[in-house]
Amino acid sequence: MSAQDGYDLWLQYDKIDDDKVVENYLDHISGFHKFGSDETLDVATTELKTAFEGLVGQTLKELNSVEENSVVLGSEENLPSEIRAMLKSDLSEINSEGYVLKSLSLNNNRITVVTGKTDVGVLYGTFRLIKEMQLHNNITQCDIIDSPKIQKRLLNHWDNLDRTVERGYAGFSIWDWHHLPELIKPEYIDYARANASIGINGTVLTNVNASSLVLTSHYIEKVKALAEVFRPYGLQVYLTARFSSPMESGDLKTADPLDPEVRQWWKDKADEIYAEIPDFGGFLVKANSEGQPGPNNYDRSHVDGANMLAEAVAPHSGIVMWRAFVYSEDDPEDRAKQAYSEFVPFDGQFHDNVLVQVKNGPIDFQPREPFHPMFGAMPDTPLMMEFQITQEYLGFSSHLVYLPEMFEETLDEDTYVQGEGSTVAKVVDGTLSNKKLTGIAGVANIGTAKNWTGHPFGQANWYGFGRLAWDPYLDSEAIAKEWLKMTFSNEQEFVDPVKDLMIKSREAVVNYMTPLGLHHIMDTGHHYGPGPWVDDLGRPEWNPVYYHRATSEGVGFDRTESGSDALSQYAEPIREKYNSIETTPEKYLLWFHHVPWDYKMENGQTLWYNLAAKYQEGVEDVEEMVNTWNDIEEYVDDQRFEEIQMLLQIQLKEAKWWRNAVLLYFQQFSGKELPEFIPEPEYDLEYYQSLEFPYAPGISPSWH
């Protein structure tokens, strides 16, 4: 087993060690022929050649014509009419980015056709053919038709221009701005390949806490260089737009969105960008949120702000993604309610090319949150999903947590807004309210780490996000299996146990960090480790005590009618069901209710007992992960095996730290003994409270 640094991600093209499988491929593929001359078609054929030669160990010839056993690549319009005719009904089923992968017989020649409406579709189909081989699937009778269900499938990089990454735990920004536009790093190309292989078609290069500097001509030249690398891979670039840019990067006295000069400034800026980057995607904006400037500074609304930018990019087919992550520093209302309160009244008022980007839950990327109540509540506005792939609140890059399981949980939740079956997925893919423009974003976990994501299993979260962005109805377990096979090994003895480990890993982190609906009790600022005791920060909703509300009587945030009534933002029957402690799912218990320590739960034990049991279960979950991993050593190269082994030790250490610190803290309120299954904590509460981590990663330098 050779050492691997993980740089190749799931695009591992090592020789397949199963001779029968290789034979099948050699029997059916001996060369390729392409129709068309687009640069996207070039990267597709180059990828196919590289993959085939690696997996099968034989050169894949380019043929001058369609011969027996050739792979035929080309978009619908470039295919010969006979082939087009044979695929007519298949092609009618796909959208502009979809593909058809089909075994055909043409003039008695057996061929495999990869086609789509566009060359990008052909590229996606090519990656699908490669994947079939990576999964060792039989390709004798290919008959695969697939199209993405969501239109804008984006990564959001919270990357600063100094290469620090806010909430980045995989080193620093892969964008080496200083050396652009001249120096094109191989990473840029491989980044585009990886994204194309899972259908991601857009990337926001810069942090939502934005710098207006990126909109100057000096930087546009650099962005252009990246856009040119990405273009053949169907990957559009987007930028974050700092709302005050007309004053900072321009010389206006205001950024008022109704001011004619401001509106003209943005139009000119958009024209300038599009002159250099004709396929520029558009802007992502965080406005009037956590100190960022926005239209409210001028007593204008989010609609005024978003529509101004939308008008600037509309002539170029650009879009604006306007984030709904807002909460006021003055408003005493439950933070969980504020985005809904502010945005829902605007439903139907945004321009056609505006998407409102909503986080999966109403607080902030916790290990578990109920779905955000805005989903389903704005039928006349396209809502874009924002997931976080980087693990800000989930142990950073040293914890193995398989996030697609969590993404799936949210996508599958039923909003009931149009009766049963009104799932979040249907809001996001536009089918629930017949939306044309649809989108989904994942906050990237990518950095300068040699393996891109720090933790080798972080790659599965990038991969899985891409797969769910393509089709939000996919099963996260199936995604885990294919990722494992492509990345490590096809051996069932490896895939089955490690797939189980991945699936369980998400509940593990919930258990050892925030079980039973607890949330946002991470230490403040960096969000590293437990900090339920923090109560001295400027804004109430920055303090963990705001979220858990522990007293001697009980713990949890009452969001029912008797409390903040955040529940009223959900449709029936959720409202009614969650309004009572008894009928609230236990996983959301302390999210919606303040519950007495002695409250008897389903298993007949008290809340206090169950809370302790969950923390203990979390630790034991990680112990099981450690054991599972040790058992599969023979299937993984030494380098990745050992790296994951070491990282699991960090995870185990930190799971125990969480259990001990949080239980000792809550014990002050419950006044009860720790159940006997909890081992004696290594340190006392004062020790845990004394820990400080000024250089925990992922903090923007300005916060130091």
Residues with a catalytic annotation lie at 290, 364, 392
**Residues 195/202, Cβ–Cβ less than 8 Å:** no
Q: Name the minimum Å distance from CB 637 to its own copies.
A: 12
152 or 455: CB nearest its own copies: 455
- Provide CB contacts within 8 A for 591, sequence distance 6+: 369, 370, 517, 518, 519, 556, 557, 559
What does the block give as tokens for 112?
A: 């495999």
Q: Is 229 in the site for its own copies (CB under 8 A)?
A: no
Query: How do 70-75 and 109-116 pair as beta strands?
Result: parallel
- Within positions 150 to 179, which residues make up the interface with its own copies, using CB under 8 A? 161-164, 171-172, 177-179
Q: Is 184 in the site for its own copies (CB under 8 A)?
A: yes
- Within positions 611 to 670, which residues make up the interface with its own copies, using CB under 8 A? 639, 643, 646-647, 649-650, 653
145 or 650: CB nearest its own copies: 650
115 or 212: CB nearest its own copies: 212
Query: How do 554-555 and 595-596 pair as beta strands?
Result: antiparallel
What does the block give as tokens for 496?
A: 């089955």
What number of other Cβ atoms are within 10 A of residue 183's Cβ?
10
Q: Name the minimum Å distance from CB 224 to its own copies.
A: 16
Q: How many chain residues touch its own copies (CB under 8 A)?
A: 37
Rounded to whole angstroms, the Cα distance separating 358 from 386 reads 6
What number of other Cβ atoms are within 10 A of residue 131's Cβ?
18
CA atoms within 13 A of residue 422's CA, in its CB half-sphere: 20
One-letter identity of residue 624: E
Residue from 398, 410, 422, 490 that binds its own copies (CB under 8 A)?
398
Site string for its own copies, 81-120 (x = CB under 8 A): ----------------------------------------
Q: Name the minimum Å distance from CB 697 to its own copies.
A: 5
- What distance, in Å, lies between the first and last C-alpha atoms of the chain? 43
Residue from 186, 260, 419, 604 that binds its own copies (CB under 8 A)?
186
**Residues 567/579, Cβ–Cβ less than 8 Å:** yes
15 or 179: CB nearest its own copies: 179
Q: Name the minimum Å distance from CB 189 to its own copies.
A: 11
Q: Is 568 in the site for its own copies (CB under 8 A)?
A: no
Q: Name the minimum Å distance from CB 161 to its own copies.
A: 4
- Choose the stretch contacting its own copies; rule: CB under 8 A; options: 125-133, 184-192, 403-411, 663-671: 184-192
Q: Is the peptide bond before 573 cis (omega within 30 degrees of 0)?
A: yes
Rounded to whole angstroms, the Cα distance separating 140 from 25 reads 8
Residue from 104, 213, 247, 571 that binds its own copies (CB under 8 A)?
213
183 or 275: CB nearest its own copies: 183
Residue from 260, 604, 671, 694 that binds its own copies (CB under 8 A)?
694
Q: Is 436 in the site for its own copies (CB under 8 A)?
A: no
Residue from 19, 182, 420, 680 that binds its own copies (CB under 8 A)?
182
Q: Is 697 in the site for its own copies (CB under 8 A)?
A: yes
Q: Which of 28, 130, 31, 118 is nearest to 79 (CA)?
A: 118
Site string for its own copies, 274-293 (x = CB under 8 A): --------------------
- Provide CB contacts within 8 A for 328, sequence distance 6+: 338
183 or 478: CB nearest its own copies: 183
Site string for its own copies, 493-532 (x = CB under 8 A): ----------------------------------------
Query: How do 439-443 and 31-35 pair as beta strands?
Result: unpaired
Task: Write down the residue that tokens 């080193």 correspond to.
Answer: 171
- Choose the stretch contacting its own copies; rule: CB under 8 A; options: 266-274, 348-356, 502-510, 695-703: 695-703
List alpha helices for 203-333, DSSP H.
217-230, 245-248, 260-276, 302-313
Q: Name the minimum Å distance from CB 661 to its own copies.
A: 16
Q: Which of 45, 107, 108, 43 is nearest to 80 (CA)?
A: 107
3-state secondary structure of 176: coil
Q: Name the minimum Å distance from CB 325 to its own copies.
A: 25
**Residues 591/560, Cβ–Cβ less than 8 Å:** no
What does the block give as tokens for 542?
A: 């920055």
Q: Name the minimum Å distance from CB 65 to its own copies.
A: 31
**Residues 223/279, Cβ–Cβ less than 8 Å:** no
DSSP state of 15: P
Q: Name the minimum Å distance from CB 123 to its own copies.
A: 22
639 or 667: CB nearest its own copies: 639
> Buried b / exposed e across 615-632, counting CB within 10 Å, b at 16+?
bbbbbebbeebbebbeeb
One-letter identity of residue 320: V
Distances (CA, A) of 605 to 591, 613, 672: 20, 10, 14
Residue from 69, 448, 568, 689 that binds its own copies (CB under 8 A)?
448
537 or 650: CB nearest its own copies: 650
Q: Name the minimum Å distance from CB 191 to its own copies.
A: 14
248 or 272: CB nearest its own copies: 248
CA atoms within 13 A of residue 102's CA, in its CB half-sphere: 18
552 or 649: CB nearest its own copies: 649
* Residue ranges binding its own copies (CB under 8 A): 3, 5, 161-164, 171-172, 177-179, 182-187, 213, 396, 398, 448, 450, 639, 643, 646-647, 649-650, 653, 694-697, 699, 701-702, 704
